[in-house]
Structure formats: structure tokens, C-alpha cells
Amino acid sequence: MSVIRNNAHCSIPDDEEQSVNRFIIVAAKRARQLQNGARPFLPTTSKKPTVIAMEEVRRGLVKYELLNKVPPPDEPPAPETV
């Protein structure tokens, strides 16, 4: 008989507003900060920076800014003259 464990602390949110890729990138950057000596935002017993970072991002404790792509120019580029 197998035991099913609740892995809610390791799950990726299914929110349609959030991108899974964005979640992973933000959590990875936060984990790198934790590895480099940053203090966790939450009291935790975990020693793994990735687990701590995922929980912080899931709870909305990590602030991030979405960078927009470079907007297209208003005018088409001038033709090159040689």
C-alpha cells in the first residue's frame, strides 16, 4: 500500500494570470539570492534555497517587475543609401 504525500509546498501555482515560466524564473533568481547569503522572508526549517524561494514566490513575498519588449518604432526605418 503506497502513501500519498501532500506536496503542496512543492507545487507550482495553476493561476491563469501567472505564467509557470515566470514563476520558475522568479523562484530561481530568489534561490540564487538565498544561496548568496540573503535572509529568507519566512521562518523555515528547510535548508534548501529552492524550496524556500518557491514558497516565498507562491505567497507573493518576492516582488518583481515585468520588463516590456522594445516597442516597435512609430516610423519605418529610412532606406539606406550607399
Q: Is the pLDDT of residue 66 over 90?
A: no
The full set of domain ranges for the chain reads 11-58
Cα separations in angstroms, 75 against 26, 47, 78: 35, 54, 9
- Judge whether 35 and 49 are in contact, CB under 8 Å: yes
Instruction: List pLDDT tens digits, range 42-58.
Output: 998 999 999 999 999 99
Output the pLDDT for position 77: 62
Task: Specify the range with the lowest mean pLDDT, choosing from 13-17, 36-40, 56-60, 70-74.
Answer: 13-17
